[in-house]
Amino acid sequence: MNFFKVGKYFTLVDMPGYGYRAPQDFADMVEAYLQEHQNLKRTFLLVDSLVGFQKADHIAIEMLEEFGIPYVFVLTKMDKAPKGLLVKNVLEIQDFAEKHTQGCFPQLFPVSSIEYSGIHLLRCFIAHVTGNLPMMNS
């Protein structure tokens, strides 16, 4: 796990390769971390738009649901997926979230780090859930 302090505001924890390349004790480490951190605001589950959900994603979802941790799906590499596949995966993920989750935020965030698409909206959401972007009352 990699920890990135974002000024004085919050810490971003990156868990790269939790899927097929993860060490055997990685799931235990993640489970312990998720259970022990009461100040955890949100978990972002990154899903590759070219492949959709994988076995490791379902394991992560089960863990988040079991511990009652709020989470969000971020659909990565949206610039690389053919439009039909992107739409198919977006609809499948939204349908899954609606029917089979309790702690999942309903908004899916499709992003591209190459084209920078969707990044601004995701950053605003992160700023909001960490208390650094208060919503204006109208």
Whether the per-residue pLDDT at 135 is higher than 70: the answer is: no
| pLDDT of amino acid 10 | 82
Count of the separate structural domains present in the chain: 1
Domain that holds residue 58: 41-133
Within a domain: 14: no
- Average pLDDT across the chain, whole number: 84
Q: Residue 54 is part of a domain; what is its CATH number?
A: 3.40.50.300
Within a domain: 94: yes
Task: Return the closest-CA partner of residue 73 out of 51, 99, 53, 100.
Answer: 53
Report the alpha-carbon angle 63-94-36, nearest 5: 20
In which element (H, E) is residue 73 found?
Answer: strand 71-76
| pLDDT of amino acid 137 | 61
Within a domain: 67: yes
Report the alpha-carbon angle 23-16-80, nearest 5: 125
| pLDDT of amino acid 69 | 87
Within a domain: 16: no
pLDDT band at 1 (very low <50, low <70, confident <90, very high): confident
pLDDT band at 33 (very low <50, low <70, confident <90, very high): confident
Within a domain: 89: yes
Within a domain: 9: no
Within a domain: 27: no
| Residue 109 DSSP one-character state | E
CA 121 to chain centre: 14
Per residue in 87-130, pLDDT (tens digit) is: 999 999 999 999 999 989 888 999 999 999 999 999 999 888 88
Contacts of 129 (CB under 8 A, 6+ apart): 41, 42
Contacts of 1 (CB under 8 A, 6+ apart): 13, 14, 15, 29, 30, 33
Within a domain: 17: no
What's the alpha-carbon Rg for the chain, to the nearest Å? 15
CB 109 within 8 A of CB 72: yes
